[in-house]
A and B are shown apart, each in its own frame.
Chain A
Amino acid sequence: MNKVLKLLSEGERLNERQMAEILGMSVEEIEAQLKALKDAGILLGWIPVFNPDKDDSLAVRAAIEVKITPERDGGFNRLAQRISRFDEVESCYLMSGGYDLHVVVKGSSLHKVASFVSERLSTIEGVLSTATHFMLRAYKEQGYLIEQPAEDKARLDVTP
């Protein structure tokens, strides 16, 4: 695995200068590698991870099982890409098993998510059915555990 990519995937918050120090490279080299990773479509972007339960603007999310009709030349790709373009769609995956696309949709209210599904998603030519599962509560988000009871100072200040 690329050294820069490996360091990023370990999840510590580091800027380019710190990454350069750690990897023994120059800041310019790091910037060049990050650019190369972006250009290659490997590194898609940087987003912070929020606790969805703590922020009302992200209050409602739903996982939607979508069945679609595959097309002669593109299979599922054209429809999947079309669905992915909606701002409401947070992520979209082609699945094996009982349905074709797993679409995660976010909205500021239950009504908005429901409207999106019924008026925009279901009405697309080629969408056969949808099953919407509202997410009630998050316990883990992007690898971060949520609502671990805060420990009182876990470590002593000075130990052997």
Chain B
Amino acid sequence: MITSVDVSGFLMRTRGRGRLHWSDWFVYAYLAIGVLVVALPILWMFMSSIKSPGALVENDPRLLPYEQLTTPSPDGQRRLGVFVWTKPDGAKADVAFVGPRGVNARVFDLAKPAEIFEVPRMSLARKDAVKPRWENYTDPTIGSAQSRTFNFLRYFWNSTFVTVVATLLTLVVNAMAAFALSKYKFRGRDAMVIVIVSTLLIPPTVILVPLFITVSSLGMLNTLWGVIIPAIATPTGVFLLRQYMLTIPDELLEAARMDAASEWKIFWRIMLPLTMPALSVLAILSVIWRWNDFMWPLIVLTQSEVFTLQLGLSTFKGELNDNMHYLLAMTVLTLLPVTLVFAFLQKHITTGIANTGLK
């Protein structure tokens, strides 16, 4: 995408004549630091997620997933760590560590396993190799006894279900309302628009308790519907779609009415396709909102079989730290869908958010 000419132009660009202005230096420094601060934690997260539990416990700060090589002990009972032994004359040999004896270590040469001898422990250095552990990803997903506390597939399914169903319902319900509010003239229409848009004023945090009581009295606690339904009528969506539908000429609808199309058919077959650009912005926003939602699911869902991915992750984090390798891998899997959405639809997302001023 970026040609070499572009890159050299980028590097040579100056504000002053001939020399880089201080503000250019500042810009490059800022960009570099910013990318480090943003990307490094994520990158580190990903690289750590394929490390062995051992490397995570001893906090190996290297970026790559190093792991100590091992070799079976002579009796075949256990695996011994491999070290590089620097001999007094400077030569090096790979040895297996059998056990400590004072300041010395009992080792054997990998070439001659029968012969156990002692060397000063100071002359040994761990022999590491890059070995990504993809099991961190496959164990909690495909299954393993160790990771039963974190039922990834179930949480993933719950999250996907909530995201997909809530987004589809959001689109249909909001588009219907926007259609009514933009293409029909009826008494109280303008009041309705004001009322709906003014719901934007209600901060979600201050209606937590009554919303919980309402949802509970409708019997939707611990069901995914309790997460989906209250979220589908977003004023942002109505506002966004209505603004767009107002630009669609009424003559189109009149022509369809002449052809005896029903109002529903006009909505579904004419209005929805024409509103596609606005609908796709709302769809993207809705997917992001619902996939990342935390507080409301935290309140409605208390049983782990209906947990969404975010809830599962947060409770998993609160538990023992023994399963750090799984936690990191699952965190990466959780951020993957929105990252992919972002990678492919970056332009739509940024313009959508800049236009609506809402996340």
The answer to whether A and B belong to the same complex is no
Question: A: which residues have CB within 8 A of B?
Answer: none
Chain B residues with CB under 8 Å of chain A are none
